[in-house]
Amino acid sequence: MASQLSAGLRQWRARRRVSQLELALRAGTTQRHVSFIESGRSVPGREMIIRLAESLQVPLRERNELLLAAGYAPAYDETPYDGPGLDAIRTALGGILEGHRPYPAIVVDRRGDLVLANRSFDALVRGVAPYLLVAPVSIPRLLLHPEGLAPRIVNLAEWGWHVIDGLGREAALAPYAGADALIEELTRMVPPRSGVRPDHLGFAVPLRLRTESGELRLVTTLTRFGTAIDVTVAELRMEAFLPADEPTAAALRELDPTMLQRVGV
C-alpha cells in the first residue's frame, strides 16, 4: 500500500514539474518529510495526503486513489449524475444551457463524452451519422469524424489540431483510460499538422462551419465547477459555442426555430 502511495505522489509531482522543496512549502511541511514519504520510509496521515494532493492539483478521483493506497477511506463522494443527490446540479446546468440559446452549449465529462446539450447544439449537429450520436457520445469524435462535422469545417486542419492539443492538455492534468487511443484515432482524421496555417481572431481559434445559412464563425469557452468536492461534479465542464461576428449570431438564431417562435419572428 505504502509503495503505491509513494509511487503515485512521485508521479504526480513529476507530472506537475514541482520539486520536493516546492511541494513541501505548498503543503506546509518539510522537504525531508516529503522525501521520506516518496521513498516509503514514512506513511503520512490522511490530512497530509489531502494537503499534498491539493498542492499538486491532483483531481478528486485520483486523490481518493491515493488515500485508498495508504489505507484510508476516500474523502470525496462520487454521486451518480442521474441520482437524486445531484438534482440541484442538473437543474442549474439545464438552466445555464437554456440561457445560452440560441448559441450551442454542452456539458461533457472528463473524457469529453456528452452529458447534456441544449437544442441549439442539437440543431448544429443535425445530419451527422446517427451512430455518432449513440451514447456515450464523444464530442471530439463527433467534431472531427468524416461522418460527423468534419466535412463542414472550413478550417479542419487548424481546428482539428486545436481539439487534439486540448485533449492532450486535459489528459496531462487529469489522466484517464483511453485518452491516448482517442488522440491517436483523431490524429488520423485530420490533415497533417505541417499544413496548418494560423487562422485565428487574435485571441482564440475559431470554428468555421459551413451551414445552409452560410459560414458560422464560432469561438468556444470552457466553464468548470472550481470548488466542487464531489468527483462527478468536479469532472464536468461546460463548453459554449459563441458567435464571433453578427452574421453568425443571426444565423444561429435561424438555426434554432424554437427561439424564433419565442421572440415572435
- Residue 167: how many CA atoms within 13 Å on its side-chain side? 27
Residue spans per domain, the chain: 2-69, 84-262
CB–CB of 160/154 below 8 Å?
Answer: no
**241 φ/ψ angles, rounded to the nearest 5 degrees:** -105, 110
What is the average per-residue pLDDT within 227-255? 93
Q: What is the mean pLDDT of the chain?
A: 90
CB-neighbour burial class of residue 87 (10 A; exposed 0-12, middle 13-18, buried 19+)? exposed
Q: Residue 226: which pLDDT band, with cuts at 50, 70 and 90?
A: confident
In angstroms, the CA 7 to CA 38 distance is: 7
201 has pLDDT over 70: no
265, pLDDT greater than 50: no
Q: How far apart are the first and last CA of the chain?
A: 65
| CB-based contact 105:241 (threshold 8 Å) | yes
If 0-12 CB within 10 Å is exposed, 13-18 middle and 19+ buried, where does residue 144 land?
Answer: buried
Homologous superfamily of the 2-69 domain (CATH): lambda repressor-like DNA-binding domains (1.10.260.40)
Class of domain 84-262: alpha beta
Give residue-wise pLDDT tens across range 142-189: 999 999 999 999 999 999 999 999 999 888 888 888 999 999 999 999
Cell of 138: 464523444
